[in-house]
Amino acid sequence: MAEDLKPTLSWLDAASIVVGIVIGAGIFVTPQELARLLPATGAMTLAWVVSGLLVFCGALAFAELSAMLPATGGLYVYLKAAFGPAVAFSSGWVHLFALLSGATAYVASGFSRYLAALLPLPEGSGLLVTLLLIWGLALLAALSTAWAVWLQNITNVAKILALALLIGLAFFAGSPAQGAPQAVAAGNFGLALATCFFCYEGWSYAGFVAGEMREPARDLPRAFAISFLLVVVLYLAVNLAYTRVLSIEELQRSGQVGADVAGRVLGVAGGKALAAVIVLAIVGTVNGLGLAASRLYYAQARDGLFLPGLEILHRGTGTPVRAIVAHAAVSSLLVLVSSSLGFVLQLAISAAWLYYAVAVAGLIRLRARRPELPRPYRMWGYPWTPALFLAGTLGFLISLTMQSPWPSVCVLAVVGVSFPVHSWVARARAGI
């Protein structure tokens, strides 16, 4: 029988993991695309508010699910309870081969570019640096969960303090010269929401470490609420700071919005400081993704619903070493073989939101079919809040598919393959 992970984490640790994953490099570059889609400060702010409200509805649902089913694995645990082992297996399969590994490969690939702004790197060393980051953080997580969480906390504090400094300095800067007003196309609002959703990715991952929390039923809803509200406030403030320093036209032309704002306010030193912040953001995101992924694969394998062996904990460190290695290996493979990391990112995002929708639908199903389950926390606004989330997610996925259909097709293919693989694994375990 597989050993259980030790319950050592607080709500602050779980919230820190979520904040570390969510606040990555995206917040420094996506406002450029947002300004192109919605070339008006008010419309851009509205997109952040609307997307934040929709994610908030999802966070409420995940808070109820996590308090009701406080076990390591998060999303997988919820899907298993609501829809059975086959759907739960497909979730882990898609996370390993598209979602979490794809997101890790994409984020880690930017590490060398920003590190080169701070340190002289040999030409052509970008790929090696990316792989060293992935495997270095995997080694840290394998040696000690406490060390990995400590690194998460440190990177989070550094990122938040640096963002706060950038926001404060931006509001002391002079207002930019504004050009002629540009028309805002209503049809672009869905695409703009998709851009914002990318920046919020990772908000659901607190539940992945539920089995290592001391009081998950009480602390998980708190972790979801605190981490989400902190991210939303920071995102709104950062984007208002951007429009305070740069005009809409400058935002549209900017290759790296955050660096341009820092350079405008603080000069060359500001640009380097911002590069250091993004390096920390990438480290925190890759580290948090690795922690969440390994716990998911460990939980599924422990329940006999994933690749055999990933449920084994290291005797000395008590960490899920094999699950950590599996995540690092697939992430590295995607870095090595992918010709377009943008494609990998779209693959990950469409897969994530597909399963978020399935999980929230599962909450509705559990309310109807398993009313006897303990519910220390019940989501506010039910059934309207989950309905709003499902409608918003459907609109997001349609917009993403219309914009770039192939990643969605590939996600459906990966999902389709997962069911016969699950059947094969189940027969193999049963000795049939």
pLDDT in tens, the chain (432 residues): 445 556 777 777 777 777 766 776 677 767 888 888 888 888 888 888 888 888 888 888 888 888 788 776 678 889 999 999 999 999 989 999 988 898 898 888 888 877 887 888 888 788 899 999 999 999 999 999 889 988 988 887 777 777 777 788 777 666 654 555 666 776 678 778 777 887 888 777 666 666 667 777 777 777 777 887 888 888 888 888 888 888 888 888 876 677 777 777 777 777 788 778 878 888 888 898 898 889 888 888 888 888 888 888 888 888 999 999 999 999 999 888 876 777 787 788 889 889 999 999 999 999 999 999 988 878 888 999 999 999 989 888 888 788 778 888 989 999 999 999 999 888 887 765
d(CA 243, CA 264): 12
Domain that holds residue 31: 11-430
Q: Is residue 290 part of a domain?
A: yes
What pLDDT sits at residue 418? 93
In a domain, 6, yes or no: no
Burial 116-144 (b: 16+ CB within 10 A, else e): beeeeeeeeebeebbbebbeebbebbbbe
Residues 6+ apart with CB under 8 A from 228: 18, 55, 56, 59, 203
What is the C-alpha to C-alpha distance for residues 339 and 12, in angstroms, rounded to an integer? 38
* Cβ pair 320, 301 in contact under 8 A: no
Alpha-carbon span 108 to 126, nearest angstrom = 10
Contact present, 345 and 103 (Cβ < 8 Å): yes
Q: What separation, in Å, do the N-terminal and C-terminal C-alpha atoms of the chain show?
A: 21
In a domain, 3, yes or no: no
Q: pLDDT value at position 325?
A: 95
What is the per-residue DSSP string for 37-102? HS-SHHHHHHHHHHHHHHHHHHHHHHHHHHHHS--TTTHHHHHHHHH-HHHHHHHHHHIIIIIHHH
For position 1, what pLDDT does the model report? Answer: 42
- The rounded distance, in Å, linking the Cα atoms of 82 and 89 is 13
- Count the helix, strand and coil residues of the chain and give each as a percent rounded to the nearest 5: 75, 0, 20
25 contacts 349 by C-beta, under 8 angstroms: no
Domain count, the chain: 1
Residue 116, in any domain of the structure: yes
The count of other CB atoms within 10 Å of the CB of residue 24 is 27
What is the pLDDT at residue 12? 79
Whole-number pLDDT of residue 279: 84
- In terms of C-beta density within 10 A (0-12 exposed, 13-18 middle, 19 or more buried), how is residue 317 classed? middle
Rounded to a whole number, what is the largest CA-CA distance in the chain?
Answer: 73
From the list 141, 74, 166, the residue with the least C-alpha distance to 283 is 141
3-state secondary structure of 179: coil
- CA 402/CA 279 separation, integer angstroms: 33
Q: What is the DSSP letter of 213?
A: B
Please indicate, yes or no, if residue 107 is contained in any of the structural domains.
Answer: yes
Residue 5 lies in a domain: no
Q: 105 in helix, strand or coil?
A: helix
| Kind plus residue range of the DSSP H or E element containing 280 | helix 268-302
At 389 the pLDDT is 93
Task: Work out the burial of residue 240: count CB atoms within 10 Å of its CB; fewer than 13 is exposed, 13-18 middle, 19 or more buried.
Answer: middle
Can you name the residues that pair with 9 across neighbouring β-strands?
A: 213
Rounded-to-integer distance, Cα 75 and Cα 93, Å: 12
Q: pTM for this structure?
A: 0.79
CA 67, 68, 69, 75 dihedral sign is negative
For residue 376, tell me if it sits in a domain. Answer: yes
Q: What's 213's domain CATH number?
A: 1.20.1740.10
